[in-house]
Amino acid sequence: MDKVVLVTGGSSGIGKAICTILAAKGFRVFGTSRNPKKVIDALPYELITLDVQDETSVKRGIDEVISKTGRIDVLVNNAGVGIMGSVEDCQDLETQEIFDINVFGVLRTTRHVLPYMRNQKNGLIINISSVAGHMGLPYRGVYSATKAAVHRLSEALRIEVAPFGIKACVIDPGDFATNISENRRVVSAVANNSVYSSETLRIEKMINEEIVHSSNPNLIGELVFNIINTKKPNVYYPIGKPLQKLALIVKRIVGSNIFERILKNNYKID
């Protein structure tokens, strides 16, 4: 039987590209959306209803895949959102919502899929984190923190599930041309003339322009295909423009103090 793949956030961007490429390679692919009806394109894979913020919805979505196929071979935890706002401006509810999607969402789906993978005695979990998880991006500190949390959780998970024949790894994209800018939250303080408003908006404009000219998410679909076919996946797979991948190496070599200067220079912050 063809391998069964479940990709959270299969309605747009990176998730849609992963689903489309894997479906073309012959996998039985299920993407998810909070509202599949809003997707009008004809997709070469099934789009099921699943909200990673809602435990009941996660269980129902995974039960649906199991009732149709009896197994899940690969889980790609991809659903996620960005947030713009200085660390001081982020209110608890705004921060909690992003952690709920980007971190607790990963935990919820993983927790519901693992019992099936343990019974199968195999499986692969790929968490889509971000290059941003390796550094505290100014005015995106909460986003960076969610992605760093995914890194630590994935490192631990990978060791814990290995005895059950289950593999886990992380993909760290740089900038990819998706709907991430349109879907990114901006904290309410920015519209209320916070002392950080103008800098937050300046940097938001800068990163949105970069996203438009960034990499094609199909590259991540191809990477997922290669990881599925790898016996021993790496812990981390950085992917994106060479400079973004290089940044991770540079940070390790020059250390945090010098790297901070490079970041400030990049964002034109005095």
Catalytic residues: 11, 129, 143, 147
- Tell the smallest beta-carbon distance from residue 35 to ligand NAP (Å): 6
- Tell the smallest beta-carbon distance from residue 41 to ligand NAP (Å): 12
Decide if residue 33 touches ligand NAP (CB under 6 A): yes
DSSP letter (8 states) at residue 215: B
Decide if residue 196 touches ligand NAP (CB under 6 A): no
Query: What would the x/- binding string for ligand NAP be over residues 224 to 263, using CB under 6 A?
Result: ----------------------------------------
The site for ligand NAP, by CB under 6 A, has a size of 30
Looking at the chain, how many residues does it have?
Answer: 270
Decide if residue 52 touches ligand NAP (CB under 6 A): yes
Find the binder of ligand NAP among 34, 59, 60, 185 (CB under 6 A).
34
- Tell the smallest beta-carbon distance from residue 201 to ligand NAP (Å): 19
DSSP letter (8 states) at residue 224: H
Q: How far apart are CA 145 and CA 40, in angstroms?
A: 34
**Cα 29-30-33 angle, rounded to 5 deg:** 145
Q: Identify whether the C-beta of residue 134 lies closer than 8 Å to the C-beta of residue 88.
A: no
Q: How far apart are CA 204 and CA 220, in angstroms?
A: 24
Q: Which is closer to ligand NAP, CB of 188 or CB of 218?
A: 218
Decide if residue 20 touches ligand NAP (CB under 6 A): no
Decide if residue 208 touches ligand NAP (CB under 6 A): no
Decide if residue 109 touches ligand NAP (CB under 6 A): no
Decide if residue 60 touches ligand NAP (CB under 6 A): no
Q: How far apart are CA 66 and CA 51, in angstroms?
A: 17
Q: Are strands 123-128 and 46-49 parallel, antiparallel or unpaired?
A: unpaired
Q: Identify whether the C-beta of residue 187 lies closer than 8 Å to the C-beta of residue 83.
A: yes
Q: How far apart are CA 151 and CA 132, in angstroms?
A: 11
Handedness of CA 197, 200, 205, 206 (dihedral sign): positive
Binding site residues, ligand NAP, CB under 6 A: 8-9, 11-15, 32-35, 50-53, 78-81, 101, 128, 130, 173, 175-176, 178-180, 183, 211
